[in-house]
Structure 1
Amino acid sequence: MALQLGDTAPDFTADTTEGQVSFHDWIGESWAVLFSHPKDFTPVCTTELGYVAKLKPEFEKRNVKIIGLSVDTVEDHKRWAEDIAETQGTAPNYPMIGDPDLAVSKLYGMLPAGAGDSAAGRTAVDNATVRNVYVIGPDKKVKLMITYPMSTGRNFDEVLRVIDSLQLTADYKVATPVNWKQGEDVIIVPAVKNEEAKELFPDGWQEVKPYLRVVKQPDAS
C-alpha cells in the first residue's frame, strides 16, 4: 500500500551526518520535515539544501525538526556539504540520512521493491521518484506529502505556510482558506457546530454560508 496522509510515518534506524538516528525517537514531541533527494552533487538539490539551512530558525520557532535524505553514503553527503557551503553560503545544519542500500527510499514507497539494494551505479534519473517532502506531526502521522520533479526547486516558504496551517488546525479547530498567510482570517471547521463555536470564538464570526464561517485567526500567545 502506498503511503497516504494520516498514515503513521514508517520508522527506521539509519546513519546520518550527525550520527545514527532512530526516526520516531528523533522526532520526539516535535513536528518534523523529511525531504529526500535522488542523488548527491545534483544542482537543484544543492540550492534547496542551502536554503533550508538558512530557514532553520523559522522551523525551530514552530517546534519543527528538519532531516534530509539522499540516495548516497554519509561520507558523500559530507563532501557535498562543502560544495553547498561554497555555492549557497550555508552548509546543511541538520542531519542528512545516508541511504546507500535504498532501504528508506523503498520503505517510504519512493522506489519500487525491485530497485535493488545499492545506490552504486544508479543515476539521479534512476532515482527520480526520490524527491518528496513529508511533514510529520508529534503523533508520528503524515500530515503533508509533496512530490516534485527533478527540474523544479521546492518552495520551502510554502512548506512553512502549510505547517502554520496544520498547527492552527491541531490547536484551534480552524482551517485556512486559499492563499492564506499567517495572521489572516481563518475558517471554522464544519465539524464544530455553532453552539461549540460560540464557546471557542466568543467574539463571533462572519457567516458567509452556514458551511463557510470566517473568524479572526486565534492568538497563539
Structure 2
Amino acid sequence: MPNFRLGDTIPNFCAETTQGRINFYEWQGNKWVVLFSHPKDFTPVCTSELSKIAFWEPYFSKRSTKFLAHSCDSLNDHLTWARDIVSYCKYLPKDELPFPIMADEDGHLAKFLDLLDANSDINRTSRPLYIIDPKHELRFSLHYPATTGRSPKEILRILESLQLCDRVPQVETPVDWKLGDKVFVKSEVKDGEVRRMFLKGVRNEYISHRGAIRSIEDYELF
C-alpha cells in the first residue's frame, strides 16, 4: 500500500464511476482535482456532505477544479444514492450530481490511493481528501474521521491559497486567510525584488531581530 506525502505524484488509475469509466489522467486533463472518499452510501453525514459539495461545485469549477468522489460501494448503489442526494440538496442548478462517484466494492482503489485508516475495514474508509494539481502532484491531504463532515468552504480556501502561491511564489497566506485578504511576502525574498514586483508597495507590520512581516494587498487571482 502506498503512503502518499505532499509532493508525491498520484499514479494513474482507471475506475468505474456514475459518469462512466474513467482513466484518471485523461479525465483530469489540465485541471486541479479534489479527490475525496466517504465511508458509506445512504448514510446521513455522507449525504449532507455530497449535497453541499454539489452546491459548491460551480465555485470550484470557476477555479479549474473537478471533484472526484469515492467509496467502497457498488456502482448501482452510487447511482441510486446520487438521486437521493439531488433530492436532498434541492438547490442544484441542474437535476443531477455534477461530479462522478467511483465504485470500489473490493476496496482495491482504497488501497491503491491510500484512503484507508490503519485499522480500517477494507470496505469502509473514513473521510480522506486530496487536492491534486494539473501535474498530478499531491498538494494537500487531510483525513477527517468518519464522524466529522467536511467543509467545502474551507477546502475552497485551501485551494485558492495553493493557486495564488503557485501564481505568485514570493507570497504565502497567513492565519484565517481568505481570498482578498492581505498576504505575506516570504522571508527569503529580498526587499529589492519586492519593490520591483509589488509597485503599490509593501507594509511592514512587525520588525524583529530576525526580519520583518511584510504584507501586500495588491494581488489578483481570478
TM-score by length of 1: 0.88
- Deviation (angstroms), 1:86: 2.3
Aligned residue in 1 for 2:139? 143
Tell me if 1:163 matches 2:159: yes
1:7-41 per-residue CA deviation (whole Å, 9 max, x = no partner) reads 11232111111111111221111111111012211
Report if the CA contact (8 A) 2:17-2:101 is conserved: yes
Equivalent residue, structure 2, for 1:12: 13
Is the aligned partner of 1:80 residue 2:85?
no
**Cα distance between partner residues in 2 of 1:21 and 1:183:** 36
Does the alignment pair 1:183 with 2:188?
no
1:84 Cα deviation from its structure 2 partner = 1.3
- Conserved 8 A contact 1:186-1:217: no
Contact 1:184/1:217 (8 A) holds in 2: no
Which TM-score applies when normalising by structure 2? 0.88
Following superposition of structure 1 onto structure 2, how do residues 1-221 of structure 1 map, counting pairs within 5 Å? 2-89=3-90, 90=92, 91-111=96-116, 122=123, 127-129=124-126, 131-173=127-169, 174-207=171-204, 208-209=206-207, 210-220=211-221
Partner Cα separation in structure 2 for residue 41 and residue 148 of structure 1:
19
Return the alpha-carbon distance in structure 1 between the equivalents of residues 34 and 47 of structure 2. Answer: 17
* Aligned amino acid, residue 192 of structure 2: E
* Distance (Å, rounded) in 2 between the aligned partners of 1:59 and 1:113: 31
Deviation at 1:191, TM superposition (A): 3.6
Q: Tell me if the contact between 2:198 and 2:218 (Cα under 8 Å) persists in the aligned partners.
A: no
2:47 aligned partner, one-letter code:
T
Identity %, equivalent residues: 38
Offset at 1:113?
10
Taking a change above 3 Å as real, the CA distance of residues 112 and 56 of structure 1, as seen in their structure-2 partners, is: closer
Q: Distance in 1 between matches of 2:168 and 2:68?
A: 27
Name the CA shift for 1:27/1:41 in 2 (closer, same or farther; >3 Å).
Answer: same
| CA RMSD in angstroms, aligned pairs only | 2.1
Query: Do the aligned partners of 1:128 and 1:149 also contact (CA within 8 Å) in 2?
Result: no
5+ residue gaps, structure 1? none
Preserved contact between residue 53 and residue 94 of structure 1 (Cα < 8 Å): yes
SS in structure 2 opposite 1:15? strand
The one-character-per-residue Cα deviations of 1:144-185 (angstroms, maximum 9, x if unpaired) are: 111111111101100001111111100012111100111110
In 2: Cα distance, 1:175 partner to 1:93 partner: 32
Is residue 32–residue 132 contact of structure 2 (8 Å, CA) maintained in 1? Answer: yes
Could you say if the C-alpha distance between residues 46 and 175 of structure 1 is closer, same or farther in structure 2, counting changes exceeding 3 Å? same
Moved over 4 A (4+): 112-116
Instruction: Pick closer, same or farther for the CA change 1:214–1:73 going to 2, 3 Å.
Output: same
Aligned residues: 212
> CA separation in 1, counterparts of 2:178 and 2:166?
17
Cα drift, residue 114 of structure 1: 10
